[in-house]
Amino acid sequence: MNGAMLFGLVAAALVGVGLYGLIVNPQPLRKILAFNVIGSGVFLLFGVIARRGAAAGLGGDPVPQALLITGIVVAFSATAIAVTVLLRLFEETGTTTLASAVPPPAAGPGPGQDQAGE
Amino acid sequence: MIVDAVYAAPALLILSLGIYSTIVRDTFSATVGFIAYGLLLTVAWVQLHGVDVALTEAAIGGGLTGLLLVRASARLRPTEALARAEAPGGAMRLLAGLMAGGVFVVLAIAVLSLPDPAPTLAPQAAEHMASLGVGNPITAVLLAYRAMDTMLEAIVLLLALIGVWSLAPDRVWGGRPGPRYNADPEGILAFIARVLPPVGIIVGIYIFWIGADHPGGKFQGATIVAAMWLLTMMAGLADAPPINRRWVRILLVAGPAVFVAVGVAGALTAGAFLGYPEGWAKPLILVIEFALMPSLALTLGLIMAGTPERPAAP
């Protein structure tokens, strides 16, 4: 087994670890973090595939590597939106629980701010 | 068979830190672990001969994403106690563990049975690099063969910023993002925020400029410049601009707009959207990179600054 293959196995394990965290952590922020762990596992796996495609004097196949850079930036964009939505939810309701039985707010919905995000 | 320690050590550390940030009780510790995890991943990328990816992972994957998570975990600290009470029971954990283990086994089998010799597009990418006048094969791919991805990526960042802004409450719409930071003006943070940015901005622009021929590029460079801006903001030396300022809006769309304009010009002169006429590839790639860099730095900085929280008033 060579080094690239070892990283391939680590990548597979990271996807598993992230999936476990996504399911068992009740906090949304931890779910976002776990999702990023899954994402980095997928990226690493793709990086291993790029490394195996080394040819023409290049250390790795540049096409998957270029796609990875795009992927990392897009994953950051999605994380930024998710974290912002979460912070806004906390600001509005004072809680971030995902439980289905949410205690009703004291005085109905917020004053006309429900459409603010549309 | 024994694997070389330069592969085994980072692999083991990455896996341990990934597990740590997933299962540790305290959310703040988890986010700090995630930053270390991101930095260690860059070592793996260097081992995999993906130095460009390593730079992106360090700057965006570990750095900016990590900062987002750390700051959010500090704000969400009051929710910790309630969340602990919601932790699922043993049966649920066991099922989740079995499922995660199953996914790992399937992926591991897939990794071990990858085709040999591996399929590759490297020869095709290398073949046309000379005609593009670009020495870095990844820049060549990003701006020539897969320019559409790069354009959409810049637009995705812009859409993310619009998404972040659109969460602003009505009363502060058009106002300044995030809280006003008040650091001790004599403190270490303010000191670093004065000393580091001149160096950081030069490093950022260097990584941007070198990207044509060596590892680096606009996204990595723009992230470093944006990080320097964030540092001065967090030290209270600078403030984020109100988001309704015209110069902010113009600078944000300038880069993607130039990219689209070059693409449309390519459709007219070279017969394909984002095609470059013969001999014009290098100058046009430079035009796109130069136009995108400031827009990207501002977009990343404002995404990190967050939703408007204060009215724009003077």
How large is the average pLDDT for residues A26-42?
92
Percent of chain B with pLDDT over 70: 97
pLDDT of residue A104: 53
Please say which residue of B87, B115, B136 terminates a domain: B87
- Containing B177, the helix (H) or strand (E) segment is strand B176-177
pLDDT of residue A110: 44
Same domain, B37 and B185: no
- SS3 of residue B176 by DSSP: strand
B18 and A17 within 8 Å at the Cβ level: the answer is yes
Q: Which of B15-24, B209-218, B274-283 has the highest mean pLDDT?
A: B15-24
Same domain, B137 and B63: no
- Chain B residues within 8 A of A68 when measuring between CB atoms: 50, 53, 56
ipTM of the complex: 0.89
Q: Give B33's pLDDT tier (boundaries 50, 70, 90).
A: very high
Indicate the domain borders of chain A.
Answer: 3-93
Q: Chains A and B: how many Cβ contacts under 8 Å?
A: 303
Q: Nearest 5°: phi and psi at B104? A: -60, -45
- pLDDT for residue B309 is more than 80: yes
Question: A35-39, A42-46, B16-20, B267-271: which range is least confident on average?
Answer: B267-271
Which one, of B289, B282, B103, B114, lies nearest residue B205 by Cα?
B289
Average pLDDT, chain B: 86
Q: How far apart are CA B219 and CA B211, in angstroms?
A: 10
Question: Using CA atoms in the order B153, B310, A96, A27, what is the torsion angle rounded to 10 degrees?
Answer: 50
Output the six-digit token pair for B225.
């410049």
- pLDDT for residue A106 is more than 60: no
Q: How far apart are CA A75 and CA B27, in angstroms?
A: 20
- Chain B residues within 8 A of A5 when measuring between CB atoms: 111-112
Write the CATH number of the domain with boundaries A3-93.
Answer: 1.10.287.3510
Give the model confidence (pLDDT) of B147-182 as tens digits: 888 888 899 999 999 999 998 888 888 888 888 888
Give Cβ neighbours of residue B22 (< 8 Å, ≥ 6 apart): A17, A18, A20, A21, A25, A30, A33, A34, A37, B30
Q: Is residue B186 part of a domain?
A: yes
What range defines the domain where residue B59 resides? 1-87
Same domain, B169 and B310: yes
Same domain, B131 and B17: no
Same domain, B37 and B145: no
How large is the average pLDDT for residues B231-244?
88
Q: How distant is the alpha carbon of residue B9 from its chain centre?
A: 26
When divided into structural domains, chain B yields a total of 2
Classify residue B179 by its DSSP letter: P
Give the strand pairing for B176-177 and B308-310: antiparallel
Q: How far apart are CA B190 and CA A113, in angstroms?
A: 37
Q: Which of B104-108, B118-122, B176-180 has the highest mean pLDDT?
A: B104-108
Q: Give A108's pLDDT tier (boundaries 50, 70, 90).
A: very low
